[in-house]
Amino acid sequence: METLLQQIVNGLVVGSVYALVALGYTMVYGILGLINFAHGEVVMVGALTALQTLLLLMGIAPDMAPLLKLAIAVLVAMPVCMILGFLMERLAYRKLRNAPRLAPLITAIGMSFLLQTLAMIIWGRNYHTFPQLISTDPMQPIPGVFITPVQVTIVIVSALVMAGLILLVTKTRLGRAMRATAENHRVAALMGVDTNAIIALTFVIGAALAAVAGVMFASNYGIAHYAMGFMPGLKAFTAAVLGGIGNLGGAMLGGIVLGLVEAVGAGYIETMTFGFLNSSYQDIFAFVILGIVLIFRPTGLLGERVSDRA
C-alpha cells in the first residue's frame, strides 16, 4: 500500500512536468498540424541555461538567497528559450507551412539533432550537477510516504502555470486569436488576425513552459546534460497523444496519467515479472501506452473523432 501511495506521489510530480512539456507539443500541433520534435531540446536548453546562470550567480554573489538565485535562473532561462522557439518557427518552419507534412516533420527532427549538437559544443558531453536549491529532504505527510519540498514546488508551479495558460487561451484576445487561427488560419487572417504573429506567439509560449519544465526536471534529479531533453520530449509527446493531440486539457490529463502509469508501473514491474525486469525498464510503459493509444484510440482520451475535423 505504501509503495502504491509513494509511486502515486512520484507519478504526480513527474506527470506535471510531462504535462508542461506536452502543452508545448499540443499547442503547436493544434495551430499548425506540426509535431515539433525539437521541443524536448528546448527543455534541455532551459535547464542548461538556468544551470549556467546559477553558476555565474554563485561566482559573483555567493551570499544571495538560494531561492532568489533559482528565480533569477528561471527568469533568464525563459526568455532564452522563448527566443529559441521564435527563431525555430521563423527560420525552420515558416517556409514549410504549406509544404507536404513530411517536410516540416523531418525538419523538426533535424532541428532536434542540431540543438543537441550545439548544446554539446557549448556545455560539453559531461553530466553536470544541477544545484538543488530547494530542499530535497524528504517529508513524511503519511508514514512511509516521502515527498520532498522540491517535488511539492514542482506540482504547485505546474498547476499555476497551467491554470494561467487556460485563462490566457479562453479569456483573452490573444487566446481567441490563437483558437481562431487553430480552426482556420486563412479565415482568421481575413477576420483581422495577424496569423504569423499568433503562430510565433504559440511557439514562444510553448518554449516558456518548456524552460520552466527544464528547470524543474534538473532540480528534481540534480542533473543536467545536453541529451536530457530527448526522453522527456518523447514522453511528453506520448502524453499529448494520449490526451488527444491539439487539445490543451488533453495534454494536461495525458501528462498526469502517463506520469502515474509510469511510476506505479516502475514500482511493481519487478514483482510482476518475478524479478526479470527492474524499475530501470520504466520507459517501457510510456511507449506501450503510445502503441495502445495509436491502435485503439488514435484521437486520444479527450480528442474529437477524426470525422469531425474534416
Partner 1 sequence: MIKLLEARGVGKRFGGLTALSDVSLTINKGEVYGLIGPNGAGKTTFFNVLTGAYIPDDGEFVFNGTELPSGKPHLVVEQGIARTFQNIRLFGQMTALENVMAGHHIRTKAGVWGILTQNKHTREEERLTTERAYELLKYVGIERFAHTICKNLSYGDQRRLEIARALASEPQLLALDEPAAGMNATETSQLKVLIEQIRHDGVTVLLIEHDVKLVMGLCDRVAVLDFGKKIAEDVPAVVQKNEAVISAYLGGPKHAH
Of 43, 84, 76, the residue nearest 57 (C-alpha): 76
User: CA torsion angle for 252, 258, 261, 262 (degrees, to 10)?
Assistant: -130
How far lies 133's CA from each of 74, 127, 215, 264, 295, in Å? 12, 18, 11, 28, 43
Binding segment toward partner 1, per CB under 8 A, in 107-115, 119-127, 140-148, 175-183: 175-183
Please state the closest distance from residue 149 (CB atom) to partner 1, in A. Answer: 27
Q: How far is CA 32 from CA 178, 212, 286, in A?
A: 11, 23, 25
* Interface region with partner 1, contact rule CB under 8 A, candidates 52-60, 96-104, 124-132, 177-185: 177-185
What minimum distance in Å lies between the beta carbon of 175 and partner 1? 8
| 186 near partner 1, judged by CB under 8 A | yes
Q: Is 188 in the site for partner 1 (CB under 8 A)?
A: yes
Among 3, 184, 278, 279, binds partner 1 (CB under 8 A): 184
Q: Which is nearer to partner 1, 119 or 165 (CB)?
A: 165
Which of residues 195, 219, 220, 282 is near partner 1 by CB under 8 A?
195
- Cβ closer to partner 1: 13 or 210? 210
User: Which of 126, 173, 271, 306 touches partner 1 by CB under 8 A?
Assistant: 173
35 counts as binding partner 1 under rule CB under 8 A? no
CB environment 231-268: b (16+ within 10 A), e (fewer): ebbbbbbbbbbbbbbbbbebbbbbbbbbbbbbbbbbbe
DSSP H or E stretch at residue 102: helix 102-123
Q: For residues 221 and 148, give the distance between their C-alpha atoms in angstroms, rounded to a whole number.
A: 12
224 binds partner 1 (CB under 8 A): no
Question: CA angle, corner 154, sides to 150 and 158, nearest 5?
Answer: 165
Task: Please tell me the distance from the alpha carbon of residue 124 to that of residue 110, in angstroms, as a whole number.
Answer: 20
Work out which of 54, 193, 216, 241 binds partner 1, going by CB under 8 A.
193
Q: Closest approach of Cβ 201 to partner 1, in Å?
A: 7
List the x/- string, 199-218, binding to partner 1 by CB under 8 A: --x-----------------
Instruction: Quote the CA–CA distance of 110 and 96 in Å, as a whole number.
Output: 14
Binding site for partner 1 (CB under 8 A): 168, 171-174, 176-177, 179-180, 183-184, 186-195, 201
